[in-house]
Amino acid sequence: MKKQTFNNLVSLAQQESPPHVNVADDVISRLASMVYNKPDPYRAYTWVGATSAAIAACILVAATLFWQSNSDSVSEIMTYVSWVGQ
């Protein structure tokens, strides 16, 4: 009985014709207008982070150069003091 009902539905579906209205362009335009391009909320954080990293790198280089110059001076003084002490 179920197979006969299915066959009847198939024959009815084959007799139907598709609608003659083309709505694809209208549907696509409406869907495209529904899309909301939200700005990235983390973009500002990215720029702040990059700027902070650049500033930190400059400070690190300056501190390293300053430390090396000071350590050389101290090293020279200690060498001189140890030579005088001998």
User: d(Cα 61, Cα 42) in Å, to the nearest integer?
Assistant: 29
Asked if the model's pLDDT at residue 85 lies above 80, the reply is no
- Tell me the two tokens of residue 13: 């579906």
Verdict on whether the full-model pTM lies above 0.85 = no
Asked if the model's pLDDT at residue 43 lies above 70, the reply is yes
All structural domains of the chain with their residue ranges: 39-86
Q: What is the mean pLDDT of residues 4-17?
A: 86
* Residue labelled with tokens 């001998």: 86
Residue 86 binned pLDDT confidence (cut-offs 50, 70, 90): low
> Which has the closest alpha carbon to 51: 39, 40, 43?
43
The 3-state DSSP class for residue 10 equals helix
Asked if the model's pLDDT at residue 61 lies above 90, the reply is yes
Asked if the model's pLDDT at residue 44 lies above 60, the reply is yes
